[in-house]
Homo-oligomer: A and B are copies of this chain.
Amino acid sequence: MIDNPYYSHEFHGDYELVSIGRLDLEEGGSIPDCRLAYTTFGTLNEARDNAVLVTTWFSGTHQIWRDQYIGDGHALDPAKYFVVVVDQIGSGLSTSPHNASGDNAAISMSKFPHVRIGDDVVAQERLLREHLGIETLHAVVGGSMGAQQTYEWAVRFPEKVKRAAPIAGTAQVTPHDVLFSRSLVEAITSDPGFAGGEYTSNAEVVAGLERHARIWAVMGFSTEFWKQEVWRALEFDSKEAFLEGFLQPYFTVMDPNDLICMAWKWQRGDVARHTGGDLDAALGRITARTFVMPISEDMFFPPRDCRAEQERIKNSEFRVVDDVLGHLGLFAVAPTYMPQIDAHLGELLDGPA
Contact = CB atoms under 8 A, between A and B. Distances in A.
Which interface class (under 10, 10 to 19, 20 to 34, 35 or more) fits A?
20 to 34
* Copies of this protein in the complex: 2
A204 to B, nearest CB: 15
B227 A305 contact: yes
A214 interface: yes
A219 interface: yes
A83 to B, nearest CB: 33
Contacts of A224: 304
A109 B183 CA distance: 27
A192 interface: yes
A218 B186 contact: no
Contact of A211 (B176, B190, B219, B300): B190
A226 B190 contact: no
B182 A223 contact: no
A308 B239 CA distance: 21
A117 to B, nearest CB: 20
A329 to B, nearest CB: 16
A182 B214 CA distance: 8
Contact of A223 (B174, B183, B214, B229): B174
Interface in A208-239: 208, 211, 214-215, 217-219, 221-227, 229, 239
A191 interface: yes
Contacts of A302: 223
Given A186-B211, A207-B190, A175 B305 contact: no
A299 B214 CA distance: 17
Contacts of A214: 179, 182-183, 186
A214 B191 CA distance: 17
Interface in A246-304: 299-300, 302, 304
B211 A174 contact: no
User: Most chain-B Cβ atoms within 10 A of its Cβ — which of A175, A224, A300, A305?
Assistant: A175
A183 B218 contact: yes
* Closest 10 A/B residue pairs (Cβ): A175-B226, A176-B223, A176-B226, A180-B218, A179-B217, A179-B218, A183-B215, A186-B211, A175-B239, A183-B218
